[in-house]
Amino acid sequence: MAGLKLTYDISSAEDDFTRAGEASGSVKKKLRQIGYNPEAIRKVSIAMYEGEINVAIHAGGGKAQVEIAPDAVTMVLIDHGPGIADVEKAMQEGWSTAPQEVRNLGFGAGMGLPNMKKYTDSMEIETEVGKGTTITMVVKA
Amino acid sequence: MIVRDVIDILEAEVVYEADLDAEILSACGSDMMSDVLAFVKDQSVLLTGLVNPQVVRTADMMDMHCIVFVRGKSPDQTIIDLAKERGITILKSRFRMFTACGRLYDAGLRGGCDI
């Protein structure tokens, strides 16, 4: 279904961690303006925010493409970072490869991907070590 | 309980004032933002010892009304500006995390989930 398409650049946390989360904040604002279902807004906000943080801290930045349709919001997060070596492990709560610096920032507790899965109706991970990761998440309205 | 009650209970300093009459349904205390994001239950106050803009972004994603920085930690201008933009009250309490959470719990506030 055709919908409103939005594209965002996600900066690397090393360059500017202050800005990480800006894309998610902007999507949330947009959904509010449209008058989207509040429960769906919260799910989209949390899933996209976790995803955006991951792209910023693990992959040195990337892109987010969001499509808002009346029946669902689709979020695609694309990066050219290190890739996820073991997706199954990465999906386990508490499993993390994040270095101490990231933990000091309040993330890297191994909850990012599990939270994203929990709040979305579908989540697909395409990843290749050394090439990057693309995650597609859908939240139904 | 409203934000004003939280200010009294935590003997807090108001760093940025949004809606002090906003109702507080439950609270969450953590320095790990992903843990905060893991439980969606109308948690209206976030108590944390972590001081960076991601605290405000996390609170915003969770539709929280108020952030309390414990142990007298001071947020910088970037954090305050972001809170203004999002309409979130920022408080600062001299109490440590355990004591701050305990005071609110003692006053009847709960975590919003069974665990």
What is the per-residue pLDDT across B15-66, written as a single tens digit (0 to 9) for each? Answer: 999 999 999 999 999 999 988 988 877 778 999 999 999 999 999 999 999 9
User: Nearest by CB to B33, which of A18, A25, A107?
Assistant: A107
A25 touches chain B (CB under 8 A): yes
* Long-range contacts of the stretch A26-29 (C-beta < 8 A, 24+): A27/A66, A27/A68, A27/A73, A27/A75, A28/B60, A28/B61
User: Nearest by CB to B32, which of A25, A106, A119?
Assistant: A106
Global ipTM: 0.87
Starting at the edge strand found earlier in the chain, the sheet holding A4-10 runs A4-10, A62-68, A72-79, A132-140, A122-128
Residue pair A59/A132 in contact (Cβ under 8 Å)? The answer is yes
Domain ranges of chain A: 4-140
Residue pair A49/A24 in contact (Cβ under 8 Å)? The answer is yes
A72 touches chain B (CB under 8 A): no
A112 touches chain B (CB under 8 A): yes
Which residues of chain A does B40 touch, with a Cβ-Cβ cutoff of 8 Å? 42, 46, 119
Q: How many CB pairs under 8 A join A and B?
A: 71
- Would you place residue A2 in the very low, low, confident or very high pLDDT band (cuts 50, 70, 90)? low
**Angle of helix B53-61 relative to helix A22-34, nearest 10 degrees?**
30
CATH number of the domain at B3-106, please? 3.40.1390.20
CATH number of the domain at A4-140, please? 3.30.565.10
The predicted structure's pLDDT at residue A99: 85
The verdict on a CB contact (< 8 Å) between B40 and A50 is no
Q: What number is the average pLDDT over the span A39-58?
A: 95
